[in-house]
Amino acid sequence: MTETAVTLVIDKLFQLLVQEANLLRGVHKEIVGIRDELESIRCFLKDAEARTEKGDLHDGVKTWVKQVREAAYHIEDVIDEYILHIAQHRHEKGFVAFLHKIGSLLKNLKPHHEIATKIQDIKILVCDIKERSERYGFNSSEQGSRTSATNATWHDPRVGSLFIEDGEVVGIESTRDELISWLVGGPSKRSVISVVGMGGIGKTTLAKKAYENDSVKGHFDCRVWITVSQSYNMKKILMTMTKNIYQAKNERAPGEIYILDEIMLISQLREYLQRKKYVVVFDDVWKTEFWEVVKHALPCNDRGSRIIITTRSDHIAASCKEFSSDQGCCPRELVRLSLDIVRKCEGLPLALVAIGGLLSTKEKVPLEWQKLHNSLTSELQCNPHLTSITKILSLSYHDLPYYLKSCFLYFSIFPEDYSITDSRLFRLWIADGFIKAKKGITLEEVSEENLIELIHRNLVQVSVNDYEVRKKYRIHDLLHEIILSKAGELNFCQILEADDSSFIGKSRCLSIHDGQENVLETITYSQVRSIFLFNINELTKSFMIKLFKKFRLLRVLDFEDAPIDCLPEEVGKLFHLKYLSLRNTKVKILPKSLGKLQNLQTLNILETPVRELPIAIFRLYKLRHLLAHYYDLEIASSLHSLQGVKIHDGLGCLKDLQTLTLVEANHQEVGLIKELGKLRQLRTLGISNMTAENGRALCAPKKYAPP
């Protein structure tokens, strides 16, 4: 996460140096130096963050990572404040004319002196941080990061899964029996069975119960169980397999196996297993590379041999048949609470067992059980009965590459059980700067790749709802609890609820749930970049004006479903704003000041009574997604309640536009169709009230002049 923050700042510094070179004449060298120092610091971050995430809780390491993150945020604040100041002092004839004069004018401006002073302070701070990293002995290579991570002391709570008695396991009997039937029955061809699912769901327990079954023991000539995990040594695994085979024969492994290389060990295993009906279990596989190597030691000998792989990743199980495991008298007054707690566990056996054990220590009264239900987030972090859940589920987060961590943490912004469409998620990720451009594909396509990877890692789930046409996505409730804590720790996001007394952190995102209007009075830190509102009963115009003044550096403003009926002119002061959603509000008119939002990428006014788009939107040259349709509140129940919005002539200037929906075609006759022909990036288009003439013009082949 800190690496993401540093990367964003490095990119922003580079853009600043390129775009504002004339304005930085006095501090250009210092900014280059800061950028270069941050590049060096980024090399150490993988090692430092790995130490903190894998269990090396050295206070110096944790403090250093925190200092780097806060320094990155501070640099970003200085840059954005500076750019905002420049934007507010642009000459009314335009920015081009302003650039010619600003060189001399800026020398006399007080902010120029202030930016120079702040940059000098930042340079000293960054140099100190780099020197501190070297004193702590951080490694600057990825290999070093892995080494330090593996040396950390950490007790793996999954060990207990290997020694659970049959009487302690409930709910998997039928699944276990089905797995056993696959092992001892079926074709003689060697087959691979993948047990795949999120951490803690019971994959190891299920596989172990089948592996230890008497019928399985008697069916195979040779059985081997190997625990792989995230950090593994292939040669040691091959040696362990070889030793296990000799031990099964009550023989001692020859000393020569310790001097054999990987290829020779594979050859020896392959030769021995060629004549055997074997079953091998590889528990907790994290890398596809592992299977690509070890499979060569497991011959397809047509003797009914079986291989079981347990993994959290769909990618690893992709070439195999996948297998997923989805699975007393309670006092009457506790039944409802019991169901609520079980529902929060969402069928996760690890959580059910751990929380059940904790409840067994509690007094069997509704008050005690309700307290646990309400405080589950903090209990997961500090209660020894539940820390095993946190550790196991956190492994998947720690295994993410840095560019996916921010995307995954974004789900902490939304309330529990909240589902979100992929398109909305993509636009938010992009607006907040979490998506890195790749050559040849759009940022939206990179976002889609990231979401698919999170789904394949079983961290994000498709939300099933028969009443919705579009797919939506969510995360498991317990994962939500865990990343809420992580997001707060990293100053990624803070949730502010109705009973919260103050906003004490320095989070870049503020998510207000059930809050009141006086919430702004409790906030002392104004460098928030994203604001979300959920379940708000009332929002006045004065509240929004205060909000726009307090948070001048906002990138994301999501008013979706909020009870507002106007958008104040003051919104035009949010120069850095990239995402503005008024979806499902009662806003009828968009202010002319909207045209000042020159960085705006997404404007969402779907399901609003906005009838006509102001001509000012044609100054939004970075707009990528314009989502609109007129929603007549008076006939909302009618089939005709959704209509296209009217748009003025000049749409063709929005060259970056990818999504345009829903506009009225016959408002401009054929003029709109001609303007659409200029939008080379357009991918999604919605038009209402099409005439035959408009249809022919829209579908006519276009001749484009070469660039």
**Domain ranges (residues) in the chain:** 2-151, 157-323, 579-707
647 Cβ contact partners less than 8 Å away, ≥ 6 residues apart: 612, 613, 663, 664, 667, 668, 672
Instruction: Beginning with the edge strand found earlier in the chain, give each strand of the sheet holding 191-196 in spatial order.
Output: 222-227, 278-285, 306-311, 191-196, 321-323
438 touches 485 (CB < 8 A): no
Is the per-residue pLDDT at 138 higher than 70? no
What distance in Å separates the CA atoms of residue 292 and residue 268, rounded to the nearest whole number?
18
Is the per-residue pLDDT at 98 higher than 50? no
7 Cβ contact partners less than 8 Å away, ≥ 6 residues apart: 42, 402, 436
- Predicted confidence at residue 107, as pLDDT, reads 45
Q: How far is CA 448 from CA 412, 435, 453, 470, in A?
A: 19, 10, 9, 15
Q: Which of 555-564, 576-585, 666-675, 676-685 has the lowest mean pLDDT?
A: 666-675
Radius of gyration of the chain (CA): 30
- Predicted confidence at residue 644, as pLDDT, reads 87
- Predicted confidence at residue 677, as pLDDT, reads 84
Is the per-residue pLDDT at 162 higher than 90? no
Q: Which of 123-127, 398-402, 442-446, 512-516 has the lowest mean pLDDT?
A: 512-516
Most trustworthy range by pLDDT among 115-129, 441-455, 492-506, 630-644: 441-455
User: Residue 274: phi, psi to the nearest 5?
Assistant: -60, -30
Is the per-residue pLDDT at 325 higher than 80? no
Cα angle 246, 250, 253 (rounded to 5 degrees) comes to: 35
Q: Which of 183-187, 329-333, 428-432, 478-482 has the lowest mean pLDDT?
A: 329-333
Q: Which of 90-99, 269-278, 389-398, 403-412 has the lowest mean pLDDT?
A: 90-99
Q: Which of 109-118, 303-312, 337-346, 387-396 has the lowest mean pLDDT?
A: 109-118
Detail the DSSP E strand segments found in 597-681. 602-608, 625-631, 642-643, 659-664
Is the per-residue pLDDT at 33 higher than 50? yes
Task: Tell me the pLDDT band of 488, cut-offs 50, 70 and 90.
Answer: confident
- Predicted confidence at residue 414, as pLDDT, reads 94
- Only one residue has tokens 């069975």, namely 193
How would you classify the pairing of strands 191-196 and 321-323? parallel
Q: What is the mean pLDDT of residues 114-133?
A: 75
Most trustworthy range by pLDDT among 48-57, 96-105, 285-294, 451-460: 451-460
**Per-residue pLDDT reduced to its tens digit, 650-672:** 888 999 999 999 888 865 555 78
Work out the mean pLDDT of the chain and round it to a whole number: 79
531 touches 554 (CB < 8 A): yes
Q: Which of 68-82, 385-399, 420-434, 647-661 has the lowest mean pLDDT?
A: 385-399
- Predicted confidence at residue 111, as pLDDT, reads 56
Q: What is the mean pLDDT of residues 460-482?
A: 81
Is the per-residue pLDDT at 96 higher than 60? no
User: Residue 558: phi, psi to the nearest 5?
Assistant: -110, 105
CB count in 10 Å sphere of residue 507: 23
- Predicted confidence at residue 660, as pLDDT, reads 94
- Predicted confidence at residue 298, as pLDDT, reads 92
**Per-residue pLDDT reduced to its tens digit, 279-297:** 999 999 988 778 878 888 9
Q: Helices 335-345 and 477-489: crossing angle, nearest 10°?
A: 70
Q: What is the mean pLDDT of residues 505-517?
A: 78
Judged on CB neighbours under 10 Å (0-12, 13-18, 19+), 343 is: exposed
- Predicted confidence at residue 476, as pLDDT, reads 86
The 3-state DSSP class for residue 560 equals: coil
Cα angle 679, 684, 686 (rounded to 5 degrees) comes to: 100
**Per-residue pLDDT reduced to its tens digit, 204-218:** 989 999 999 999 999
| Share of residues in the chain with pLDDT > 70 (%) | 75
pTM for the model: 0.76
- Predicted confidence at residue 529, as pLDDT, reads 92
- Predicted confidence at residue 313, as pLDDT, reads 86
Task: Tell me the pLDDT band of 497, cut-offs 50, 70 and 90.
Answer: confident
Does residue 544 or residue 375 have the better pLDDT?
Answer: 544
- Predicted confidence at residue 558, as pLDDT, reads 95
What distance in Å separates the CA atoms of residue 448 and residue 414, rounded to the nearest whole number?
19
- Predicted confidence at residue 615, as pLDDT, reads 93
588-617 in b/e form (b: 16+ CB < 10 A) is eebbebbbbbbbbbbbbbbbbbbebbbebb
Task: Tell me the pLDDT band of 707, cut-offs 50, 70 and 90.
Answer: very low
- Predicted confidence at residue 572, as pLDDT, reads 93
**Per-residue pLDDT reduced to its tens digit, 585-621:** 999 999 999 999 999 999 999 999 999 999 999 999 9
C-alpha closest to that of 44 among 73, 21, 78, 67: 67
User: Residue 133: phi, psi to the nearest 5?
Assistant: -65, -35
611 touches 645 (CB < 8 A): yes
Task: Tell me the pLDDT band of 327, cut-offs 50, 70 and 90.
Answer: very low
Q: What is the mean pLDDT of residues 263-286?
A: 91
- Predicted confidence at residue 628, as pLDDT, reads 93
- Predicted confidence at residue 219, as pLDDT, reads 93
What distance in Å separates the CA atoms of residue 123 and residue 116, rounded to the nearest whole number?
11
Is the per-residue pLDDT at 370 higher than 90? no
Architecture of the domain delimited by 157-323: 3-Layer(aba) Sandwich (3.40)
- Predicted confidence at residue 428, as pLDDT, reads 97
User: Using the 8-state DSSP alphabet, how is residue 464 labeled?
Assistant: P
What distance in Å separates the CA atoms of residue 243 and residue 223, rounded to the nearest whole number?
12
Q: How far is CA 475 from CA 121, 198, 269, 479, 526, in A?
A: 41, 11, 42, 7, 30
How would you classify the pairing of strands 420-421 and 472-474? antiparallel
CATH code, 579-707: 3.80.10.10
Q: Which of 442-446, 521-525, 531-535 has the lowest mean pLDDT?
A: 521-525
Task: Tell me the pLDDT band of 21, cut-offs 50, 70 and 90.
Answer: low
Q: What is the mean pLDDT of residues 244-266?
A: 80
Tokens standing for residue 39: 């590049």
Is the per-residue pLDDT at 551 higher than 60? yes
C-alpha closest to that of 193 among 183, 203, 185, 201: 183
- Predicted confidence at residue 694, as pLDDT, reads 73
User: Residue 213: phi, psi to the nearest 5?
Assistant: -65, 140
- Predicted confidence at residue 579, as pLDDT, reads 97
Q: How far is CA 115 from CA 15, 48, 80, 241, 529, in A?
A: 17, 31, 11, 63, 20
Task: Tell me the pLDDT band of 163, cut-offs 50, 70 and 90.
Answer: low
Residues paired with 510 in a beta bridge = 494, 531
- Predicted confidence at residue 491, as pLDDT, reads 85
Is the per-residue pLDDT at 627 higher than 80? yes
197 touches 312 (CB < 8 A): yes
Q: Name the residue type at position 21.
A: A
